[in-house]
Amino acid sequence: MQSSILNNIQSPKDLRKLPKGELPQLAKELREFIINVVATKEGHLGASLGVVELTLALHYVFDTPNDQLIWDVGHQAYGHKILTGRKNIFETNRQFGGISGFPKRSESEFDTFGTGHSSTSISAALGMAIASELKGEDKHHIAVIGDASIASGMAFEGLNHAGVTNANLLVVLNDNAIGIDPSVGALKQYLTNVKSGSNGQDNIFEALKFNYSGPIDGHNIKALISELERLKSISGPKLLHVTTTKGKGLKQAEEDQVKYHAPGKFNANTGELIPKALSKFTKFQDVFGHTLVELAKTNEKIIGITPAMPTGSSLKYMMDTFPDRAFDVGIAEQHAVTLAAGMTTQGFITFCNIYSTFLQRAYDQIVHDVALQKLPVIFCLDRAGLVGEDGATHHGVFDLAFLRCIPNIIIFAPRNEIELRNIMYTAQLGLDLPIAIRYPRGKGKIINWKQPFEKIPIGSATQIKKGNNIAILSIGTIADMVSNAIEDLDVSHYDIRFLKPLDYKLLHHIFSNYNSIITIEDGTIKGGLGSAILEFAAQNNYTNNVKVCGIPDQFIEHGSVNELQKSIKLDIDSLKNIISELQ
Catalogue the active-site residues: 246, 333, 361
* β 211-217/141-146 pair status: unpaired
Q: How many residues does the chain have?
A: 583
* E strand segments, 331-385: 349-355, 378-382
CA distance 412 to 500: 7
Q: Cα(142)–Cα(169) distance, rounded to whole angstroms? A: 6
10 Å CB burial of residue 389 (0-12, 13-18, 19+) is: buried
Q: How far apart are the first and last CA of the chain?
A: 57
What is the spatial distance between Cα 216 and Cα 241, in angstroms, rounded to a whole number?
Answer: 7
Question: How distant is the alpha carbon of residue 72 from its chain centre?
Answer: 13
Distances (CA, A) of 133 to 128, 163, 166: 9, 15, 9
Query: Could you tell me which residues come within 8 angstroms of residue 415 by beta carbon, excluding any fewer than 6 positions away?
Result: 474, 476, 477, 479, 480, 495, 497
For the sheet with 545-551, list strands across it: 462-465, 492-495, 470-474, 516-524, 545-551
Q: How far does CA 178 lie from the centroid of its chain?
A: 16
Q: Which spans in 249-332 are helix H?
A: 251-255, 284-298, 310-313, 316-321
Q: Which amino acid is at 80?
A: H
Other beta carbons within 10 angstroms of residue 506's beta carbon come to: 17
Contact 337, 352 (CB under 8 A): yes
State how far the alpha carbon of 263 is from the alpha carbons of 259, 274, 369, 561, in Å. Answer: 6, 9, 37, 19
